[in-house]
Amino acid sequence: MIKNYTVIDVETPNGQNDKLCSIACINVKNGKIEKEFYSIVNPESNFRQINTKIHGISQKDVLNSPTFPVIWDQIHSFFEKTCIVAHNANFDLSVICKTLEFYSIPIPKINFIDTQS
């Protein structure tokens, strides 16, 4: 049984899936929640109505929100020396990696478990 891991979830503004408009991270150590983070993110991208219908976040909601580089400064430690757990991890991690690439931020080595499989 894994006792140390980080659970993540992201939402995207459109079907390109190369930016995110929200991210949640929960770090678990020895089976107990150690720290949590959630933020709406300004993706500096357009929203599609279908995405807003899915997660409820609109272009208007993110106007005054931080961009991903600001958020990454706050959350990169959630991805260090841990196993990432996500439902449909390939999707979530792909969005995170594409966003990191867009901002020319180095992509960390990520070990993960997908709860969808």
33-67 confidence digits (pLDDT tens)? 999 999 999 999 999 999 999 999 999 999 999 99
Radius of gyration of the chain (CA): 14
- Tokens standing for 3? 């006792």
**Which candidate, 112, 105, 73, 72, places its Cα nearest to that of 91?**
112
- CB-CB contact of 86 with 115 (8 Å): yes
Judged against a pLDDT cut of 90, whether residue 26 lies above it is answered with yes
φ, ψ at 52 (rounded to 5°): -60, -40
70: confidence class by pLDDT, cuts 50, 70, 90: very high
pTM of the predicted model as reported, rounded to 2 decimal places? 0.94
Average pLDDT in the chain? 96
